[in-house]
Copies of this chain bind each other. A is one copy, B any other.
Amino acid sequence: MKHTLSTIAVALTAIVGITAVVKTTASPSEPISVIKPAVITEPEKVELGKMLYFEPRLSISGFISCNSCHNLSLGGVDALPTSIGHEWQQGPINSPTVLNADFMLAQFWDGRAKDLKEQAAGPIANPMEMGYTHELAVDTVASMPAYVARFKDVYGTDEVNIDRITDAIATFEKTLVTPNSPFDQYLEGDKKAISEDAKAGYALFKDRGCVSCHNGPAVGGTMYMKMGLVKPFHTDNPSVGRKAVTGRDSDKFVFKVPTLRNIELTYPYFHDGSVWTMEEAVNTMSDIQLGRLFNEQETAQVVEFMKTLTGEQPQIVLPILPPSNANTPRPVPFK
């Protein structure tokens, strides 16, 4: 588990170069810990990362940015079953939220990227997503003096490379946390912050075992688990999960447990994006993962609890991006 103990966060603040330290408060008696606002120690790097996060010229078309599929107006997702990529290609899997993503033990549904920096490099060069190359992405950014000046300010030299681009993006993404949800207020002692139904839902969430996977600050993201533990999950989606990373048959259909933070915003649900309502998601999970269905009232209560996990969304001032010039590679939106 990452970041679950406030002592870790406190220790990290002492290390030079750590930019956005996210503190959490773990209550010894609760399996879910409170998310604290991000503490930004390198605002220039965060600002550069924000620019790159909204930069459509990191795609070959000049049209797709990180924010296209991890839209910060929409809970950090695209709210589609699977994403739209270059030339309107249909992505293979549901776009996970970028919000609180740094709490995950690894990135992507199958955990194939160890952290946000490694993740950020993937879509840029994926022919089904942004369709660019790292070399051209670097050339594009390096062609604009306003970007180069920022790289020099942040990294000490004016070199633009994919390592710095993804480091800056990841540093921005680490600030995308959603503190002060009603449930966090409840955990911190405000017993009126959530309804009686939500409290009953939380009790069910713990008693029935949801919490054995959905725990930690992000209410998920601390482990991998088989989708279809008790009964098989029926889907047309061909993803095999962790098996694609480890090669092990035992990892077939094993996925990273998704966060339930802001779950009301991050529909449709599951790695195949097949389910649009929290009620159906709760029912399916209780059936195939726990082997015991909730009744209608219980489902409503668990959903009520899950709605209390919506936190304060990051306030983002849209970055103004520098203009291309004669040295900037031109986008190729159409063949």
Q: Which residues of A contact B (CB under 8 A)?
A: 54, 56-57, 61-63, 68, 71-75, 78-81, 84, 87-88, 90, 264-265, 267, 276-277, 313, 315-321, 323-326, 330-331, 333-334
Contact = CB atoms under 8 A, between A and B. Distances in A.
Sorted nearest first, the 3 A-B pairs with minimum C-beta distance are A88-B88, A316-B318, A313-B320
A8 B68 CA distance: 41
B277 A326 contact: yes
A72 B71 CA distance: 15
25 contacts: A56-B79, A57-B79, A61-B84, A62-B79, A62-B80, A63-B78, A63-B80, A63-B84, A72-B318, A73-B318, A73-B319, A73-B320, A73-B321, A75-B323, A79-B331, A88-B88, A88-B334, A265-B323, A276-B324, A276-B326, A276-B330, A277-B326, A313-B320, A315-B318, A318-B318
Contacts of A68: 63
A54 B80 contact: no
Main secondary structure of the interface of A (DSSP, over half): loop
Contacts of A325: 277
Given A62-B78, A63-B78, A326-B276, A73 B54 contact: yes
Given A54-B73, A79-B62, A80-B333, A317 B316 contact: yes
Contacts of A62: 78-80
Nearest to A334: B90
A73 B324 CA distance: 13
A4 to B, nearest CB: 27
Contacts of A321: 73-74
Contacts of A81: 333
A323 B78 contact: no
Nearest to A72: B318
A234 B323 CA distance: 26
A323 B264 contact: yes
Contacts of A317: 315-318
A57 B267 CA distance: 13
A325 B280 CA distance: 12
A267 B323 contact: yes
A130 B284 CA distance: 34
